[in-house]
Each structure stands twice: as structure tokens, then as C-alpha cells.
Structure 1
């Protein structure tokens, strides 16, 4: 983390192909974390149960300290376009997509995060990294999830 790390993030960017989450402040990177994604990481989330992580611009709209995972910040998926697209296909778009730590009650991995994509569509980081994200990100911060 660089000296700007004392700033709150005003944008979170996830680059799925690189498995990285960036915290930005005024366009400058203040932190970078390795992530695990949904078990089917390629492509935008289409429906409930597809194990894909959504792509696009959303908001981090609430924090949940009593999650089944070590802290969680909710992503505002699905948006109106996601709902309309799912309705047109006759499917449920899914929801409850979060940035979160590891599942409560599990032993942390040696380096903090498994090397596989294991979530149902969420973005997972180590618990220590989740603590840093929790402090650096306010509710209402935009998140851009790129392919």
C-alpha cells in the first residue's frame, strides 16, 4: 500500500481476468488485493445459480458484519438492466452478491486465500484484506467489475 492509503477509496475496481481488486482514490491506486470469484468466472452473471460474478458498474450499498462469511459488503446487483435482461429470458437474475472474507468457521489458508474460484458469484478476499477494505470503503462507493 502506498502513502495515499490513509485516504478512503472513492472507487473499487475488480479486474476478473487478473483476479485483482483495486481501491482507488482520485484515480490513484491505494491498495491491491488478489481475489477469488464465482466458480464460473468467465462472463457476466445471467441468472441465479450460474456461479458467475457480475460485470458492470454497481454500488457497494451496505455492510454486513453478521454474514456467514468474515464481513461482507453488498454489491447492488442486479440493476434495472440486469432485471430486464433476466425477465426477457424468463429467469431469476439472482442477487446477494458481496465482497467478503472467508467462510466463518473455516481455517484460513496459509497465504490467506485459496487459489481457486470457489464462491457462488461473490468476490472473496482474505480476512485480513477484508478488514482493510472494510475500513477503506464507505457505503455508497461505486464498484466497477470488468471482465
Structure 2
């Protein structure tokens, strides 16, 4: 990853011109030029423009804001919490699964190799019938 914002832009845009980036950001090409910190008339990029660029090129906006110097990595620190999956409603888990399947189908690099598409049911105790499901138990 690049260490300056212009290097970052080169990385994520695959070398798009400043005019192309300006169109995406909703600013003029001269504004993009003034984002260069070595210029005497340097200005810091606006957060909305940086976010628009990141979203257009499919990169995380938070990463872009850090690269632009709007946020620091410490500012962006996310507090992680661990919550057992058993506490989530089934509908929420199914929505997340659907979201991941949709993302996987749109990104060929995440597809499962052919030899892994059909797992052996014996790999899974419940699927193989080695474990009773709670609703299969006889009533008391």
C-alpha cells in the first residue's frame, strides 16, 4: 500500500488520470492537484470526495480517509466485541449467510474450487445421522 495519498490513488484507480478521479470525486482536476502536500497552495481533501472515490473504486472508505490524512489509524480504531453466535436470531444469521453468498457469487476469486463443492456428508455428524436433532427426540 502506498504511503501518500497520490500513491494510494494510483493503487486503487489503476492509474486513472486526475481528471477521471476528479469526476468521480465531484471536484475539479485542479482541486485534485492541490491535494498534493508538496504544493504551496496545498489543501486537504474533503472527506465526502475521498469517500466517493473509495466507494467508486470498491475500497473501504475508512482506508481512504486514513490515506488522505483526514483520520489516523488510531482515530479509526474499532472496538471489537465478541458475541456468541447462539445469541443472534436465526433470521439475522440467514441474512448474513445470504449476503456472503451474494458477495461470493459476484467475486470469482472467492469461489470454491470444484473439488470442494460437494462435501462428504460423513464430514458432518448431523448430516450423517450420527447426532439426533433436538426435535427428533421422543417426547417424555
TM normalised by structure 1 equals 0.23
If each structure's strand is expressed as a fraction of its own residues, which one has the higher value? 1
Q: What TM-score comes out, normalization by structure 2 length? A: 0.23
> Based on CA coordinates, which of the two structures has the bigger radius of gyration?
2
